[in-house]
Structure 1
Amino acid sequence: MSRVIAFDGIRNFRHFGEYGTRDGRTVRRGLYRSGHFARASNEDIARLTDMRLTLVTDLRRPLEREREPSRWDDVLNPRVLSSSIAGHAEPPHMAFLREGDLSAKGIRDFMLATYRRLPTDPGNRQAFAAGLRALADHASSESFVVHCAAGKDRTGIFCAMALELAGVDRGTVIEDYLMTNSAVDYDRLVPEVAANIADRTGRAVEENSMRIFLGVDGDYLNEAFGVMGSAEAYMRTELGLSDDEIARLRTALVRG
């Protein structure tokens, strides 16, 4: 079964449910992850409606949402949860692209540092907590999607937390996270993003470095877990979920 679902204007859309757990159960259906929805086509919206997409967690910053607003319609009209904390005026990676070391090593070091920062960012913590609380009460017959801009970093951490809490082993969690590297058409995306960076910063990024910047690596996710500890501990101490909320979330994530 292919987990990747192709859309016209939505990148990296895929299912992250239906994994087996260590205690012999299965993660529920209807759990999706993706990049942003600003370029969704009419056909994409119709397909999402057929999928009964009713709950969305948008992990982007307010400025990101203003610049690329999600495209919904009155028929789909999902409930959307997001952060109200503005944080920096622009995503931190833009300052890096203007001033940082854009070699392959420089970009890898930046990504490792980014994953150490993402779990403690106030906006991320607010959006993570809101999405997990809503998912705990979400009907299993309807669909949930979590996304950020590219659907790989903030989204990757959110999905890894959810799967680990559900009882999926860490190796499978990392495999799901790494699926971005095959779900995205990098031959097309790399030159597109490189041209955009050149226009905005006046700097050129080599293809190999660009692929590191746009892709994912298991070491990145391990850096995040090094900061968070276990998913349950992070949800309790950093996100403020109660024991009851965590228990209900665990129950909502599995079937069987």
Structure 2
Amino acid sequence: MKDRVFPLEGVHNFRRFGGFDTAGKAKVSDRLYRSGQFSRATGKDRETLAGLGVRLVADLRRPRERQAEPSFWGEHTGVRVLESDHAGHDEAPHLVFLRESDLSLDSIREFMIETYRRLPFDAGNKWVFEQGLRHLAEAGPEDGFVVHCAAGKDRTGLFCALLLTELGVEQETVRADYLFTNEAVDFDRIVPAMTRRIETEMGRSIGTDELRAFLGVDAAYLDAAMDAIGEPREYLRGELGLEESVLDALKERLLA
């Protein structure tokens, strides 16, 4: 898995989520990428990313998130960026949680599990999920695709799990890709900085293990989303309204 990570300077969790084998012995296109946000991409990062042939970007962040941390992808001619106008909450739920909860490990895990139960049915997420898959089905064979949110782990992780599952990748591999965030991200660098930020901006203290549980991923989180979804196949066709012809085209486009 480690060879899938691109060690960028200002972008966290950028890695390939294509290239896996399916249960039917086909191979998923290696031009699929997942990431955290790009607002702090350095000039060197942009050079690296420019070489990937990205033509389609699915940005799962809400409008306020995009305003606070602008992405550079829209500046590129020939790159289509999919963004939802759904405003969602007045204030990001995770900020409310950090300010008002007891910040115990149990409360963090409960918050994350409840969050994952809601993710598949959030209007903004659903729009980007649907449009991302529709446009990906129509993309050229050499076109690169990036899906990202703020940290590239929750909304992005669910999108990737749904797509890889629909393509026929074995669940053990799907889960391994999801959980790899815990290794792909340099938490030894991020956790101390985030701890200081919470102390400075909120006047609150949080333990290292607790913050890692908040910033990382856990199989129980993904299980909560999948339990809420039920059958992924029916979710794509029912909740997202994707026609069989679109999903067939997606497989034709991404499997070899």
- TM superposition score normalised by structure 1: 0.96
Moved more, 160-169 or 68-77: 68-77
- 1:210-235 per-residue CA deviation (whole Å, 9 max, x = no partner) reads 00001111111111111112322111
Aligned residues: 255
Following TM superposition, by how much is the alpha carbon of 1:140 offset from its aligned partner in structure 2, in angstroms? 2.0
1:79-137 per-residue CA deviation (whole Å, 9 max, x = no partner) reads 10011111112221111111113111110111111110111111111111111111111
Show the counterpart of 1:179: 180
Q: Does 1:166 align with 2:132?
A: no
Amino acid across the alignment from 2:190 = L
> C-alpha separation between the residues in 2 aligned to 1:96 and 1:162?
30
Q: Structure 1 pair 228/235, CA: closer, same or farther in 2 (3 Å)?
A: same
Structure 2 counterpart SS, 1:144 = strand
Letter of the 1:46 partner, please give it: E
Map Cα deviations across residues 145-190 of structure 1 (whole Å, 9 max, x no partner): 0000000000000000010000001111000001100001101100
1:120 aligns with 121
Letter aligned with residue 201 of structure 2? R
Displacement of 1:243 after TM fit?
Answer: 1.7
Instruction: Describe how 1:88-237 pairs up with structure 2 within 5 A.
Output: 88-237=89-238
Contact 1:81 1:131 in 2 (8 A): yes
Q: Which runs of 5 or more structure 2 residues have no equivalent in the other structure?
A: none
Query: 1:48-86 deviations in whole A, cap 9, x for unaligned?
Result: 111111110000011000000012475566210011111
Partner-residue secondary structure (3-state), 1:161? helix
SS in 2 for 1:26: coil
Letter of the aligned partner of 2:192 in structure 1?
Answer: P
Distance in 1 (alpha carbons) for counterparts of 2:246 and 2:76:
31
Which one is further off, 246-255 or 3-12?
246-255
Q: Could you tell me how far apart the structure 1 residues matched to 2:198 and 2:120 are? A: 26
Counterpart amino acid of residue 184 in structure 2:
A
Give the Cα–Cα distance (whole angstroms) in 2 for the partners of residues 158 and 72 of structure 1. Answer: 19
1:13 aligns to what? 14
Percent same amino acid at aligned positions? 49
SS in 2 for 1:29: coil
Task: Quote the Cα distance in structure 1 between the aligned partners of 2:30 and 2:105.
Answer: 38
Deviation of the 1:244 alpha carbon:
1.4
Kept in 2, the 8 Å contact 1:162–1:231? The answer is: no
Give the drift of 1:239. 1.1
- Distance in 1 between the 2:131 and 2:255 partners? 19
TM-score normalized by structure 2?
0.96
**Aligned partners of 2:17 and 2:34 also within 8 Å:** yes
Counterpart code for 1:104:
L
Kept after mapping to 2: 8 A contact 1:82/1:130: no
Separation in structure 1 between the aligned mates of residue 31 and residue 67 of structure 2, nearest angstrom: 28
